[in-house]
Chains A and B, each alone.
Chain A
């Protein structure tokens, strides 16, 4: 939301701006190319991610036992995942005991249908919403709209995205790609259509923008009979749900309406309240760079005369049990949606969130989305490759998800899926390279060819243009010229053929040597 300077032109989106869904988007490289050309977005993203990553580093640095906390968080989540069936049944039992109604949803359609039926049963045509990744994942807003129900997002950044007919581009800050002058333009243009119009003469001062949103939203809070939320955590031992947010809009939605519907991914369960303490430390420091979360709302079923009287919880699978079945891949289900990995990712910083074609962008999206959706589409096949494997994401992850390892694993699945089909150019090249490397004599012959190439290039020390596919390198980078003598040729010339021949023992105290 931050960023300096004047908005230049409209933010480019690849499909009709009104659909605001990710379905049918092109693969990552082409989306990223478009995003790279959007200089305003590049500046907004670089500014915002660097600001929040600096804040995070500072507050994480304050906690001497941070590594122990991370370990504890990952172990708690792993324990929960290993006994998920038991904890879910315990959660259900305690929710029902506390007066909530529990619904189980296998997939997005089932969850959306349950939610629509519940809203219709209340006889209303609008709901207020607490920012929720689960409801975005199942595209609940679009499903409600199709059923004639308006769903009003009340989180400031979500409101900006919704009013802009845009897509979220970040887990925590969905409008991170927008700067304040773009937001002013959206408010001026769109607020009137959705309710209370933007005040006359609205400027791009952050306080004025926040005031405009507050006035616009207040009418919706006071009018709404039904609210829809997600949950950051669900405590099995008591059947309690927990939502963390920063603006207080969530608490309004969770307390004012008569009916509350919460869509909760089944991996959100924590066994006990004492487990929660770890995550209340890990999450705010990792996500917003704050020591403590501003608004933490917890509720247990329905309480007579206080808050929503009709409480529903939709427990959502939508691919999660199939992720759980993969012993290595399941660690992605530890994710607490803090977005620290997005904020440190050099690829995300430049390509932006839309390029990932999912509500889960950045490094976690690149491993979570293909696991949840499968790798049948070109887009989902491209996501595991949307990383330089630099490892910054793993370093900051509060629950120690080894994202680089999962990316490599998913790449392997993508390639395995292509085996036996029509041979690709890349596959053929890889196979012949593997054949060449299988024996050092073949490798040496290939080196001779490279050396020959360098002889033809004469005295040049770098190459400016190469034919396809190496042209992807030389479009913007010079390429080195192979030297005339390889290392192994030099070795044989200076150290003799019997390169491995000196098999004498290293002797006592030797730090290396032949075993």
Chain B
């Protein structure tokens, strides 16, 4: 289902393009290499990146665990921090999905019509990284170089909440030197699921074990995905098995160049 690369395909963002980075609290604290890679990548493409330091957490963990009252103030602060940007980009399918698909329900619960309106305004302008690159910037060749055998896991929220489709694969296929191999049963959940990973740890691990087996079967050196939370789960299992497979966020592969290799 590849869209043909048109003659006018971009390799640079239009002059003056700016975007706000939603780093996500998890990446900010645990996986800073990922938002750093987003910054390097976007700046290389000619985009001015801003990072509003007032941002903390989108509230997804609270929402999905049933703590809606605890999530609502985070929705409020999200629209305050990001409401003034035309575009917000996040290296996370699940946090983007939470803003775009769940904020409306939380705003309704708050009973605050102003918040509902603000959410309706900002939510459609929040993009997962591959959506932003392909749909907003119109770029699939980001000039990356990554000479490794790679397999890609499309995380559930990217796939079924945001419907990012094959955008990440279109980006990866343009990476020079890459040996991209298909992951068997790629669309099946890895079993992370936020607090599901601890509330139903046994089922979560059983699901992850199958995912890890499929990853090993590809012979890939690197497992790539658009959500570090899923990667932490699968990588945590692969690490326990000493499988010799690295996990990397899509942003880090796209940010890699010959100079950085």
Contacts and interface: CB of A to CB of B under 8 A. Distances in A.
B28 interface: yes
Given A478-B240, A482-B29, A487-B35, A36 B206 contact: yes
B193 A390 contact: yes
A412 B68 contact: yes
Nearest to B232: A480
Contact of B85 (A33, A395, A472, A512): A512
Nearest to B70: A434
B86 A513 contact: yes
B236 A389 contact: no
A415 B70 CA distance: 11
A197 interface: no
Interface string B10-29: 00011111111001010111
B18 A513 contact: yes
Interface string B171-206: 000000000000000011101111111111111111
Contact of B54 (A405, A479, A486, A500): A500
Contacts of A485: 32
Interface string A397-440: 00000000100110111111001000000110011011001111
B237 interface: yes
A413 B235 CA distance: 33
A191 B235 CA distance: 50
The majority secondary structure among interface residues of chain B is: helix
Nearest to B199: A385
Nearest to A482: B30
A36 B203 contact: yes
Contacts of B32: 483, 485-487, 490
Given A482-B30, A514-B84, A502 B200 contact: no
A15 interface: no
Interface in B193-222: 193-208
Interface string A294-322: 00000000000000000000000000000
A364 B114 CA distance: 34
Interface stretch (A125-133, A147-155, A503-511): A503-511
Interface in A480-503: 480, 482-483, 485-488, 490-492, 495, 497, 499-500, 502
A427 B198 CA distance: 15
Interface in A447-494: 447, 450, 462, 464, 469-470, 472-473, 475-480, 482-483, 485-488, 490-492
B136 A512 contact: yes
A346 interface: yes
B202 A487 contact: no
B85 A515 contact: yes
B134 interface: no
B86 A387 contact: no
Contact of A29 (B36, B73, B202): B202
Given A389-B156, A511-B87, A437 B53 contact: no
Contact of B28 (A394, A462, A477, A486): A486
A346 B65 contact: no
Nearest to B191: A388
Interface stretch (B1-9, B44-52, B145-153, B253-261): B44-52
Nearest to A478: B239
Interface residues of B, number: 89
Contacts of B116: none
A415 B67 contact: yes
B203 A487 contact: no
A386 interface: yes
Nearest to B237: A477
B202 A32 contact: yes
A248 interface: no
B111 interface: no
A332 to B, nearest CB: 16
Interface string B97-126: 000001001000100000000000000000
B70 A490 contact: no
Contacts of A351: 203
B56 A443 contact: yes
Given A391-B160, A408-B102, A514-B86, A500 B50 contact: yes
B160 A390 contact: yes
Given A487-B35, A514-B85, A507 B16 contact: yes
Given A350-B206, A473-B201, A475-B201, A487 B14 contact: no
Contacts, number: 255
A428 to B, nearest CB: 11
A116 interface: no
A408 B64 contact: yes
A242 interface: no
A347 B15 contact: no
Nearest to B108: A328
B157 interface: yes
Of residues A350, A386, A492, which shows the largest number of chain B Cβ atoms within 10 Å of its Cβ?
A350
A28 interface: yes
A312 to B, nearest CB: 42
A252 interface: no
B41 interface: no
Nearest to A348: B203
Interface in A314-349: 346-347
A186 interface: no
A477 B156 CA distance: 20
B164 interface: no
Contacts of A413: 66
A447 to B, nearest CB: 5
A462 B239 contact: yes
Nearest to B233: A477
13 contacts: A36-B202, A346-B188, A347-B207, A392-B188, A412-B67, A475-B205, A477-B236, A478-B239, A480-B236, A483-B30, A485-B32, A486-B29, A514-B85
Interface of A: 28-29, 32-33, 36, 346-347, 350-351, 384-392, 394-395, 405, 408-409, 411-416, 419, 426-427, 430-431, 433-434, 437-440, 443, 447, 450, 462, 464, 469-470, 472-473, 475-480, 482-483, 485-488, 490-492, 495, 497, 499-500, 502, 506-515
Given A487-B29, A499-B53, A512-B89, 13 more contacts: A388-B189, A412-B68, A462-B239, A476-B237, A477-B240, A480-B30, A486-B29, A487-B28, A487-B36, A510-B18, A512-B17, A512-B18, A512-B87
Top 4 closest pairs, chain A to chain B, by CB? A388-B193, A477-B236, A512-B87, A411-B66
